[in-house]
Chains A and B, each alone.
Chain A
Amino acid sequence: MSAARIRQRLLAAVFAFTMLGAVALAFAVDNTPQFADPVLQARYYGLTHELRCMQCQSEALADSNVGLAADLRMEVHKLIESGKSDVEIRDFMVARYSEFILLRPRMSLRNLWLWAAPGLLLIAGIVVALRVLRRRAQLPISDDEVS
């Protein structure tokens, strides 16, 4: 066997083991039954990744081993099954666990300034840049600027 061939096989083996590990991990955390319908399963996937595990706080429901996270995953499953929309499910969780359960905060009056900040900063930057450029344009060319 050539060295290139061996390297290729080794890589394939490493890849296979990594995938196996990933699959095992995925199974270890989420024991909630899967939906047969891929559309519903995708919604379940999305929701459990954007809702916070309240006990672990910086983890999503989908990634947490905590008992309550499993219960809430089951709750999401049941709510999807009963025909609730994503918005209704988010509202259900916020009504019980407060806005804090959303890993992606919704726009509200309280955090509006945060959403607006990048735009405002950009505008401020453009204004400053324009003023500097305009002032520079009016200056006579000095010696040290001519190279």
Chain B
Amino acid sequence: MKRFLLPLGGFALLVVVLLVGLRHAPEREAKFVKSPLLGKPAPQFTLPQLVDPAQTFDSSSLRGGWHLVNIWATWCVTCREEHEVLLQIKQEGRVPIVGLDWKDEDAAAISWLSQLGNPYQVVLADRKGDVAIDFGVYLAPESFLIDPQGIVVEKQYGAMTVEDWRSKFLPHLTAPAKAGA
């Protein structure tokens, strides 16, 4: 029947459009909203160190070597799950981890580190959460791999897993630096 061809075609088109829409629905990608920071310079900041607040840490110290910036807090349940993996990454010794303690109580954070072990080269206290906003953090823990030029090359939303570390992060560290990338 020729007269049904047009409506049927229209319906098929609608099905395709909706299917594509569902595949790319924001809800589906909620955990993976692509960070606008990827490929861009990491935000600049100066923060006091957790253990010795008199000492400050400037983001310019991140230049010259690879760093993994990990945003965590003692009130963050998933951070506890992730902690083991961070300790493993420290053990591997491929890249130093810089901890950003997000809106936390210093005492709680210090006792967390002494109880569970400290995977960080240095821990910075972001008490008001301003630096976390500059990093676009909303799902702690989050981790950013920053190259020697200070460019964010990889990002993890939520807990770092051994799998993600091996498949997404390690290749950046083992591959020779791409020109212009």
Binding site for B on A (CB under 8 A): 54-55, 57, 67-68, 71-72, 75, 94-100
Contact = CB atoms under 8 A, between A and B. Distances in A.
Nearest to A67: B103
Interface in B126-174: 128-129, 133-136, 138-139
Given A57-B27, A67-B103, A68-B129, A96 B134 contact: yes
B133 A57 contact: no
A55 B133 CA distance: 13
Interface of B: 26-27, 30, 33-37, 103, 128-129, 133-136, 138-139
A98 B133 CA distance: 12
Q: Summarize A's interface: helix, strand, loop or mixed.
A: helix
Nearest to B27: A57
Nearest to B43: A96
A57 B27 CA distance: 8
B103 A98 contact: no
Contacts of B139: 54-55
A8 B97 CA distance: 68
Contacts, number: 37
10 pairs of A and B residues whose beta carbons are closest in the complex: A96-B136, A54-B138, A98-B36, A100-B33, A97-B136, A71-B129, A98-B33, A55-B138, A95-B36, A68-B138
Nearest to A66: B138
A98 B30 CA distance: 12
A31 B135 CA distance: 24
A72 B133 contact: yes
26 contacts: A54-B33, A55-B138, A55-B139, A57-B26, A57-B27, A67-B103, A68-B129, A68-B138, A71-B103, A71-B133, A72-B133, A75-B133, A94-B36, A95-B36, A96-B36, A96-B37, A96-B133, A96-B136, A97-B36, A97-B138, A98-B33, A98-B34, A98-B35, A98-B136, A100-B26, A100-B33
